[in-house]
Every structure is written in C-alpha cells, then in structure tokens.
Amino acid sequence: MTLSLTNTLSRKCSPVKLSKAQPVKMYVCGITPYDHTHIGHGRVYVTFDVLCRLLKHLGYQVNYVRNVTDVDDKLIAKASQQGNPEAFAQVAEHYYGLFSQAMQQLGCLPPSAEPRVTQCIPEIISFIQGLIDKKHAYQVGNDVYFSIESFAHYGKLSGRDSQALQAGARVHVNEQKHHPGDFALWKGNNEHVFWDSPWGKGRPGWHIECSVMAQKHLGETIDIHGGGMDLIFPHHENEIAQSEALHGAEFAHCWVHNAFVNIDKEKMSKSLGNIVALKDLFAKKDPMVVRFYYLQHHYRGPIDFSFPDLDAAEVAYKKLIAHYGTSALTEPIDHDADVASLKQALCNDLNTPQFFGLVFEQLPRAKKDPTFAYTVGSLLRDVLGLTLEPLLEAVCEITPEIQALIDQREQARKEKNWALADALREELTAKGYKIQDKRT
C-alpha cells in the first residue's frame, strides 16, 4: 500500500516518496526537559510512534531520530530557582528520565537515536561558521544571527512574508540586527553556562540545534520531519532556512505536524495554569487508555480534553480488549484481504478514527471468527501500539479536599439546592471523579 501524508510544505495530502532500499529518515523534535511531561507531549510522540510502526509494518526500515534539548534558557532558569544555574544538566537528566518513563508507559518504541545538544557543540560551531562563510549569518558582538533576507525562500513552510515578520518566539531582541526576524545562532554569554567559540563564550541558539543533529544522524536531506504545529513557526521555518542555506539542498521532503490538546477549548499553557501532567493522568487512567484516547482523534485535528471523554474512551478500549485481546492463537493467519480496509485507513494520512470505526464495526465477526480477531488484534498491537491487556481496576483515592466537595454536594442535595449540587458535580468531574447518586 502507498502511504499518503499531509505535507505542511505543499499543503496537500499526497503519497510520500520512499524507498525500501534504504532506511526512511525521520526526525521529530524532542523535548526540553525542564518540567513534567504533559498530555500535549504524549500526543506528539504517540502520533509519530504510530507512523514509525506503520512504516515498519509496510516493510520499510526506519531511522527515527528524536533530539533532547538539554541546555536552554528555561533549563538554566529552573536550575537557578533551585539555587545553582550550573546544575542545569541534573535538572535535564531528572525530567528526561520522567519523560522516558512516560513514553514507555504509553507504549512508544525508543527512537533509533536520541542526540543531545550538549553532545553536538563542535558540530554546531562548525555549522554556524559555514553559514557565516556563505554570508547567511553575521556577528554582532559575541552573538551570531542568521539573516533571513539572505534566504530567498524564507517563509515557505509557514506562509509568512519575511518583509512583514517581527521578532518571533525565542528570537533574541537586539537593535543591531539587520532585520527584526533575524534569529540567534549563537548567544554570547559568559555567565554560568557557556562554551568557547570563534565569536566568544556563549551557547547555541534554539533553532540551530535541530538542523545540526538532523544532519549529523540523517544527512543533509531527510524524508519526514515531524513535530507539533506550534513548531511550524519559527522553529521549523528557521531549520529550513539554516539547513538549505548551508547545503543548497532540500532539508526535508515531507513536514508532518499534529494539532494541539486543548483544555476548555484553550491551548495548554503555564500562564493559564491548565497543564495536565501525564503522571497525574496515569494515576487515574491506564496509559493504554490515554494512548487509545489520542488515537480516536485524527492527528491534524485538535483534541478538547475532558475526563468524561476519557471515561468513554476507557469503555470503548475495554471492548477492544474483550474482542481482540484474548485470542489463544499462536501462529499468524493470512487475513490480509480481510484487513486491507483497515490498513488503507492508516495509509490515508494516518486516519486512526476511520481505522477504529471499521474495527468496531467488525466486533460481531470478531466474536465468531477467532482467526480474524487474532489478525486484527495483531494489527492493534503492532501498528497502533495497544497492548490489549486487561486493565487493572484503579483504586480511587478520596483526599480531604475531594471528601469536602462530596459532603458539600450532599448537603446541597438535602437542601434541594440543585444548582449548587450540579456545580459541585461538575467540579468533581473536572478533577476526575464521577459521582453516582443512589435512589432513596
């Protein structure tokens, strides 16, 4: 089957040109480990885990690289809050460990390589010098900036006009820059965390890191580059500019971006205080339920997260376990013709909602035909990454805070204050607790 994906660059869903003669080169932007892994991270890496699994199922080898930004202003700030900015490496290692654990719980396969910025400083310096030599970058004091006006195709991924650009996210503001949109390749700094370079002490800019790590592990041109849609601009736009300016070759053939996870129809952010950490979610729901919940949505559509929807996902996932997870067969059965429509749904821009729709339609057949159930179950495990193992019943912990809300609601019901009782029910639901009233 031919795999088609929506390419952000072309703005079309079209077949991805791949060869089985050599590994598919796939790069996905990783985390900056300065805080707990949240449900937005989970969605990104489950999406690309399924893509990686599907490519392997279709007979491709995959060289999947996912970086770790283990030095960054946010990491240094976190270490400073703990009293020692030079301890950023320990902060990064701590949160990276929690991230790795969460990915394992979600059933994500480890990438082929997981390079770290701090391991690539010499390559980063060499890359920047190459851009300076080609007149695509310039030095201001101890800083080095990329000149977006030197790259004729700047804005082709995001559709933004370089003439109208203002300083974007993580773009270092400096009045000596040639253009407001010029971004830092090297940030001069001689305090706490720095490396020596031809331009003075400092550390790399954010965008240059991924260009260098992708080149180091995958070469000048890669097949698929992925990440969350929030990275389209400026991060991925700047990766293209840097890499193509230096090498004169297309950086990535296909750009794939997943949509956000929203809370109350707003994007998660620390400023809004609506971050949902995976560790907290896993305390309430099995990670496989969370993975299934992600995959019920198409990767390009936003998810409006809610606990009632997660409860519904759990009910549906238990049906999958009951029908496809208990087959006693030990040898694979040739049912390719029977599951062709399932595979076609996945090959059509990773249409996991359509895939599951077809799977649930076939529940009656799965009940009667164990070989068919085995085949579909194998697909669910190998490509969708769902273990289909029985779920352990969670122990519901009633904290003093939750008990107080329950007591308040019970009192409101006794007083027939239905509006207050309903409001308290909604508050408990939002905290992950379902209230079941008994008839009296």
pLDDT of 383 strictly over 50: yes
Mean pLDDT of 31-55: 97
Task: Give the per-residue pLDDT at 169.
Answer: 42
Sequence letter at residue 116: R
Task: Give the per-residue pLDDT at 440.
Answer: 47
Lowest mean pLDDT among 154-158, 326-330, 432-436: 326-330
Residue ranges covered by each domain of the chain? 18-262, 308-382, 396-440
Q: What is the dihedral of CA 187, 40, 112, 87, to 10 degrees?
A: 40
Backbone angles phi, psi at 366, to 5 degrees: -60, -35
Task: Give the per-residue pLDDT at 330.
Answer: 53
Sign of the alpha-carbon torsion through 51, 343, 24, 106: positive
Task: Give the per-residue pLDDT at 17.
Answer: 95
- Kindly state the percentage of the chain with pLDDT values over 70: 92
pLDDT of 301 strictly over 50: yes
Task: Give the per-residue pLDDT at 174.
Answer: 67
Mean pLDDT of 77-100: 94
Per-residue tokens: 98: 């929690």
pLDDT of 138 strictly over 80: yes
pLDDT of 418 strictly over 70: yes
Per-residue tokens: 323: 């029908």
pLDDT, tens digit, for every residue of 161-192?
766 555 444 555 667 899 999 999 999 988 88
pLDDT, tens digit, for every residue of 225-258?
999 999 999 999 999 999 999 999 999 999 999 9
What superfamily does domain 18-262 belong to in CATH? HUPs (3.40.50.620)
- Considering the chain, what is the average pLDDT of its residues? 91
8 A C-beta contact, residue 358 and residue 324: no
Domains 18-262 and 308-382 share a fold: no
Mean pLDDT of 358-375: 92
Q: What does the alpha-carbon distance between residue 244 and residue 91 come to, in Å, rounded to a whole number?
A: 34
What is the pTM (predicted TM-score) of this model? 0.87
CATH domain 308-382 topology: Four Helix Bundle (Hemerythrin (Met), subunit A) (1.20.120)
In the block, which residue shows the tokens 């030079």?
86
Task: Give the per-residue pLDDT at 27.
Answer: 98
Task: Give the per-residue pLDDT at 268.
Answer: 80
pLDDT, tens digit, for every residue of 372-382?
898 999 999 99
pLDDT of 210 strictly over 50: yes
